[in-house]
């Protein structure tokens, strides 16, 4: 569990999940989550995120490989892990006739050493909705109730499956603040999300899955750095691409020209931008519509998603397997 002084609260090695009919949704993945960090699992639809999180939560046994949560197998040693973890499933199924307060009370009855219900309902912004029936809550309010229930046991490890889906922008930001505060207080958080902005803002480290495998993992900055940066500008009147300094020595990997608009891709943004600007200054020209930017997590994600739409290496589509 201790590696280089860092405690790995979640350890996943060679993990596989196979559904009835033989469909392999998780195809041998490895990652670790350190104590007190937020780790985001991203991926295209059907990439295997929920299938993975369910194995971490101990809801099913793996078909292969190993999961350790707080040093235990969450499936075979459920009793040792369950009371130290909080789980927010993608779809919480609550009795719709109960009020918010009744639901929290019922849940608290199943949790040893539960925090006061009112405290967790206030944390997620539901303090004024305690007497409202669950069926009358909006989708976003139900997600907040899901989160409140996951927090009742004051967990060391929190699993959040798409925690902000259905929330408006304010609710999403409130949840980010709450999850960050929990992390700052020492809680380890593993979440799945479709919002790249959420992972960029919140995650200390992340993994992008597709087709049951992890395509890339690292800090948001490390993952983003797998994509080149871009410089876009309009060629000054009377100038042609050949009038620019040679692009290769400027650190430019590739370029496109669309009418007067030039797009450069570079892995050395500072050098390429500096050399371009020095050239423009010396030539006494203005680079109109100049735009210089590092790659975003979204670009890294889309590159992986594009690869995912290529034929799968195992020669069959998900649909064929799922049929
Ligand atoms: N109970 C099941 N039986 C058979 N196949 C399943 C089952 N549950 C999920 N799958 C398949 O496993 C694959 C991974 O699904 P999973 O829900 O883990 O993906 P996901 O990354 O969470 O997707 P999303 O982002 O759409 O929620 C999908 O192809 C899905 O159809």
What is the pLDDT averaged over residues 278-304?
Answer: 92
Calculate how far, in angstroms, residue 122's C-alpha sits from the geometric centre of ligand 1: 33
Distance 51 CA to ligand 1 centre (A): 6
> Of all atoms in ligand 1, which is nearest to the CA of residue 90?
27
- What is the mean pLDDT of the segment spanning 171-195? 91
pLDDT the model gives residue 233: 98
318 lines ligand 1 (CB under 6 A): yes
Is pLDDT at 165 greater than 90 in this prediction? no
Give nearest CA residue, ligand 1 atom 29.
Answer: 46
Residues sharing a CB contact under 8 Å with residue 8, sequence separation 6 or more, in sequence order: 1, 2, 32, 33, 34, 35, 68
> Of the residues 52, 162, 322, which should be mutated to test ligand 1's pocket, given the most ligand atoms within 8 Å of the CB?
322
Mutational test site, ligand 1, from 18, 27, 50, 305, max ligand atoms within 8 Å of CB: 50
Residue nearest to atom 1 of ligand 1 (CA): 19
- Average confidence score pLDDT of the chain: 89
CA of 42 to the centre of ligand 1 (A): 14
ipTM: 0.97
pLDDT digits (tens, 9 = 90+) for 245-259: 999 999 999 999 999
Question: 36 CA distance to ligand 1 centroid (A)?
Answer: 28
Distances (CA, A) of 103 to 93, 122, 133, 162, 296: 11, 14, 9, 21, 41
273: pLDDT strictly greater than 90: yes
Question: Can you give the pTM of this predicted structure?
Answer: 0.82
Query: Tell me: the pLDDT tens digits for 65-124?
Result: 999 999 999 999 999 999 899 988 877 677 788 999 999 998 888 888 888 999 999 988
Q: Assign 155 a pLDDT band (cuts: 50, 70, 90).
A: very high
């Amino acid at each position: 569990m201790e590696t280089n002084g860092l405690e790995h609260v979640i350890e996943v090695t060679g993990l596989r999940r196979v559904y009835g009919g033989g469909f392999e949704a998780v195809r041998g993945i490895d990652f670790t989550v350190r104590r007190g960090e937020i780790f985001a699992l991203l991926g295209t639809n059907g990439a295997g995120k929920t299938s993975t999180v369910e194995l971490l939560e101990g809801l099913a046994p793996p078909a292969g490989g190993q999961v350790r949560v707080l040093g235990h197998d969450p499936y075979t040693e459920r009793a040792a892990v369950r009371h130290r973890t909080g789980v927010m499933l993608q779809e919480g199924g609550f009795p719709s006739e109960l009020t918010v307060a009744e639901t929290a009370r019922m849940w608290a009855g199943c949790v040893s050493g539960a925090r006061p219900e009112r405290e967790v309902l206030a944390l997620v912004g539901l303090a004024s909705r305690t007497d409202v029936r669950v069926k009358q809550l909006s989708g976003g309010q139900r997600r907040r109730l899901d989160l409140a229930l996951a927090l009742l046991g004051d967990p060391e490890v929190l699993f959040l499956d798409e925690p902000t889906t259905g929330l408006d922008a304010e609710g999403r930001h409130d949840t980010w603040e709450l999850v960050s505060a929990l992390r700052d207080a020492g809680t380890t958080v593993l979440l799945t999300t479709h919002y790249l902005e959420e992972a960029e803002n919140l995650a200390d480290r992340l993994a992008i899955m597709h087709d049951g495998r992890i395509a890339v993992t690292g800090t948001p900055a490390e993952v983003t750095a797998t994509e080149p940066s871009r410089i876009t500008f309009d060629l000054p009147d009377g100038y042609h691409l050949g009038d620019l300094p040679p692009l290769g020595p400027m650190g430019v990997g590739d370029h496109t020209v669309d009418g007067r608009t030039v797009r450069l891709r570079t892995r050395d943004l500072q050098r390429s931008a500096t050399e371009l600007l020095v050239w423009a200054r010396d030539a006494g020209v203005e680079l109109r519509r100049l735009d210089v930017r590092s790659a975003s997590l979204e670009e890294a994600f889309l590159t992986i998603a594009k690869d995912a739409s290529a034929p799968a290496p195992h020669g069959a589509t998900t649909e064929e397997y799922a049929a």
